[in-house]
Chain A
């Protein structure tokens, strides 16, 4: 298992200057099926950011390893967050689907909501008050 330190974006760092400090978020991604391509992970703090209408708190792309990978987000202000992750196995920067629109690459969301569609922000949101760790099962 590989641990990666993810530094929040510049915008988030500016925000940190005035926000209440919460701590570190550790995100463990499990069930990565193949050591090929990249994991693309996005940490957001709003419904707008979840739907790509605002910038994420952090967005990272790292080479995928089979099994589990761990990400750490430090110095996050207290608040509501959500994480989505996809396994871009062929590095074409999108979640591939078949002709019916059904995903052929891995994906997952915080809270692991049991829905057979893209989760909503409300389904994936969680509150960060202090240091916390979550696990996302890549499906």
Chain B
């Protein structure tokens, strides 16, 4: 781990900008709420990036189309950036919005919806101030206040997880925010141990079948390199931590695991001068990805690999087969688009849509100590999920939102199941005017067969001005939803969810 002390420089992520005030003012006038509102009037799908403007939604009894499975009981929690504007300033980066948690609750064949802003230190402060005063991950705020540490800019806006009986709203460069599982009221940032105040806890913990979990936190946000590895017990309390040292800068948003190994892929980048983290960060395609294969029973004994550059946010399943560790992942083919997804939408514009994703498998040859990316010829998808019960020696069936023409919006409008072993994809297209988000796999009660279960995924029907949740038979995605539940309002599109039965 390379580390500079607090005295030398804290928080690469929050470095104050050197942008001249005049330039900032010009940029603001082009990208402000007025420009977005004008864009929304032309392009109704932009409602997915509209600032939510209210701190709570619901509880609302959803209207069900079809017959909701009565045995599907529990809650689909969702999280995503939702508050994008204050006092004439609009964030320029999708990742900046303050997080809103939602709960779609299923009981006795009925569905209800609630939403609640995570009352982070940042959100509470800026709500009182009536304006943005803290630098965001991708937008430099004029005259921003100095702040104590990274948790002062924590938006808790990326994912949600239930560990034990505890529900957490997650970001990637600060504390997990615990919330009440029923009311979604914010309990506060979690200090797992006194020396871990504000330590980064990524948005993508991975759960073992016994309910315990692994996670990481990137130290690159703190003028260091490497990751902090977290081990959380099945009761939702800290079991241990370890530091995985690295000697080169590497960005990582998620990781993968097999039965035996944790797999961390460090994507190389360089930092420019001035501006917020995602304004300054540039992926470095001329450099290789470095990959750490870390035995779960020997966290201090990583094996390192190098593979050609690839920009990846989301790794799906990983498995061990034939002397290889293989990780399925969503490769972003355009590094600039990857740095700021849906950047044009944040401005109220339709983008050039030049970028995209391809399904790849990272193959680590354990005998030869080599790594390579295998392309599967499947493109335009993100947010892959899978059934964690899949045997550890074969690729999992993946479930991912995708885009199928015709589509009114430059976003996903369909759900796919992708079987890379059989080279078969099943797709259901929700419609030209519906946008589709991540779908979570839910095992059918009493089943133990991998793949036997439902998919639950959220939708935004911008033509009818409603948000909803669909349930599909995971084995027959192409048959479309068994049922769909709708509420008579829209919620900004988010990132990740978690089903808690």
Contact = CB atoms under 8 A, between A and B. Distances in A.
A114 B17 CA distance: 10
B144 interface: yes
Interface in A98-130: 98-107, 112-118
A88 B145 CA distance: 21
Given A114-B16, A139-B152, A101 B144 contact: no
Contacts of B6: 97, 100-103, 117-118
A116 B9 contact: yes
Given A98-B196, A116-B16, A117-B6, A103 B144 contact: no
A113 B196 contact: no
Given A99-B199, A103-B148, A116-B146, 12 more contacts: A98-B199, A100-B6, A100-B222, A102-B6, A103-B149, A104-B148, A107-B148, A114-B146, A116-B15, A117-B9, A118-B6, A137-B145
A137 B150 CA distance: 17
Interface string A64-103: 0000000000000000000000000000000011111111
Contacts of B150: 102
Contacts of B196: 98-99
Report the contact-size class of chain A (Cβ under 8 Å from the partner).
Answer: 20 to 34
Contact of A117 (B7, B152, B198, B222): B7
A114 B196 CA distance: 25
B70 interface: no
Interface residues of B, number: 27
22 contacts: A97-B6, A98-B195, A99-B199, A100-B199, A100-B219, A101-B6, A102-B6, A102-B197, A105-B148, A106-B148, A112-B145, A114-B144, A115-B146, A116-B9, A116-B14, A116-B15, A117-B7, A117-B8, A117-B10, A118-B6, A139-B146, A139-B152
Given A103-B6, A104-B197, A139 B148 contact: yes
Contact of B222 (A96, A102, A112, A118): A102
B5 A101 contact: yes
Contacts of A100: 3, 6, 199, 219, 222, 224
Of A99, A106, A112, which is in contact with the most chain B CB atoms at under 10 Å from its CB? A99
A-side interface mostly: loop
B307 interface: no
A97 B7 CA distance: 12
Contacts of B198: 98, 102, 104
Interface of B: 3, 5-11, 14-16, 144-150, 152, 195-199, 219, 222, 224
A139 B9 contact: no
A119 to B, nearest CB: 9
Nearest to B11: A116
A98 B197 CA distance: 6
B122 to A, nearest CB: 13
A108 to B, nearest CB: 8
A99 B191 CA distance: 12
Nearest to B146: A114
Contacts of B8: 117
A106 B146 CA distance: 12
Given A107-B148, A139-B152, A116 B199 contact: no
A115 B197 contact: no
A118 B199 CA distance: 20
B198 to A, nearest CB: 6
A115 B195 contact: no
Nearest to B221: A100
A96 B148 CA distance: 12
Nearest to B152: A139
Nearest to A139: B148
Given A98-B195, A98-B199, A100-B3, A116 B152 contact: no
B280 to A, nearest CB: 14
A139 B222 contact: no
B164 to A, nearest CB: 23
Of A101, A105, A116, which is in contact with the most chain B CB atoms at under 10 Å from its CB? A116
